[in-house]
């Protein structure tokens, strides 16, 4: 989603700030999508989950995390991401077998006055599908998944606001939620994702692998409402390859923290969560704010 825009933004910024290495944020997966009890997959059934994510930023940081003070820089990204989830009653290794798929719809507005760039685009992003296994022992929820992002979205070489990234990315997921008390009013969770990127069809560069951690600590204040603290960390793990002669691989990372509220509406089998993440650290990329509203309906 926003990483495609950031990637080309950084490349364009080189013209004005020669000391900046050509960094390329690599992850298909948007951090901040999940929060409280993020690793906890639901019981068997069919669900539609709708993610609504807003990202804003007016700060571009160098590899040391210092603000480059790009005048009048403004990035706004809104993504609506419908996701279909089917958790089957079938068992494998003691866990429920599940499948899910999503397709992002992305609006991006990007203004970089020093690069004479001002563009807004709405488009269909890259399709993702995966298989999952989930377990629910007494005080824990565990889940693992394996899937891939497909380059179905429109992409381009150079500075662009197009929604596609232009390459395949297998992604592996594992996470756990721990309920410390018997009544399960407290929850502590961590969800990890590892992405292996393939060669970009537009630039022929293979960007480095990416690791994402999303965590949450929550308390049920009443039966249908959870309040908590959430955050994320995303990091480029390996170097870019197949770079042009003379180019160097630039690593990037970001970390954020913020509040979340979850509300359940049992009578209509609807669940809603609202979270805000403030990015307090970013290296070789934009630093901004993420707001996510997630609606989940069981059918």
CA distance 294 to 34: 9
Helix (H) or strand (E) holding 13: helix 2-13
Helix (H) or strand (E) holding 12: helix 2-13
% of residues, the chain, pLDDT over 70: 90
pLDDT tier at 25 (50, 70, 90 boundaries)?
A: low
Strongest mean pLDDT among 1-5, 61-65, 218-222: 218-222
Q: Which residues contact 185 (CB under 8 A, 6 or more apart)?
A: 219, 220
Q: Which two tokens stand for residue 50?
A: 């709708």
Per-residue pLDDT tens over the stretch 226-266? 999 999 999 999 998 888 776 766 788 999 999 999 999 99
- 3-class DSSP assignment, residue 66: coil
- Among 74-83, 102-111, 241-250, the range scoring the smallest mean pLDDT is 241-250
If one compares 148 and 162, the residue with the highest pLDDT of the two is 148
CA distance 122 to 6: 16
CA distance 259 to 138: 27
pTM reported for the whole predicted model: 0.90
Per-residue pLDDT tens over the stretch 127-151? 999 999 999 999 999 999 999 999 9
CA distance 216 to 211: 17
Write down all domains in the chain, each with its CATH number in brackets: 2-298 (2.40.128.130)
Contact 273, 35 (CB under 8 A): yes
Q: Which residues contact 108 (CB under 8 A, 6 or more apart)?
A: 2, 5, 75, 76, 77, 120, 121, 122, 161, 163
């Amino acid at each position: 989603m926003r990483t495609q825009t950031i990637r080309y933004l950084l490349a364009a910024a080189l013209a004005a700030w020669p000391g900046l290495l050509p960094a390329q944020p690599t992850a298909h997966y948007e951090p901040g999508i999940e929060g409280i009890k993020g690793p906890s997959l639901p019981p068997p059934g069919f669900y539609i989950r709708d993610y609504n994510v807003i990202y804003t930023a007016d700060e571009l940081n160098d590899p040391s995390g210092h603000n480059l003070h790009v005048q009048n820089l403004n990035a706004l990204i809104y993504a609506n991401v419908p996701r279909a989830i089917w958790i089957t009653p079938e068992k494998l290794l003691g866990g429920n077998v599940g499948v899910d798929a999503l397709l992002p719809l992305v609006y991006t507005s990007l203004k970089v006055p020093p690069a004479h760039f001002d563009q807004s685009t709405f488009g269909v992003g890259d399709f993702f599908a995966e298989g999952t296994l989930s377990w629910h022992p007494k005080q824990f929820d565990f889940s693992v998944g394996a899937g891939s992002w497909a380059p179905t979205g429109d992409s381009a070489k150079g500075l662009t606001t197009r929604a596609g990234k232009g390459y395949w990315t297998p992604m592996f997921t594992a996470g756990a939620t721990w309920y410390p008390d018997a009544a399960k009013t407290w929850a502590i969770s961590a969800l990890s994702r590892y992405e292996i990127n393939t060669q970009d069809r537009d630039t022929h560069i293979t960007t480095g692998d990416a690791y994402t951690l999303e965590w949450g600590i929550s308390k049920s204040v009443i039966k249908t409402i959870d309040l908590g603290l959430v955050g994320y960390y995303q990091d480029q793990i390996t170097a870019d390859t197949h770079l042009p002669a003379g180019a160097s691989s630039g690593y990037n990372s970001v970390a954020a923290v913020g509040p979340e509220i979850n509300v359940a509406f049992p009578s209509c089998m609807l669940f809603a969560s609202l979270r805000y993440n403030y990015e307090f650290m970013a290296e070789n990329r934009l630093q901004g704010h993420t707001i996510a509203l997630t609606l989940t309906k069981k059918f």
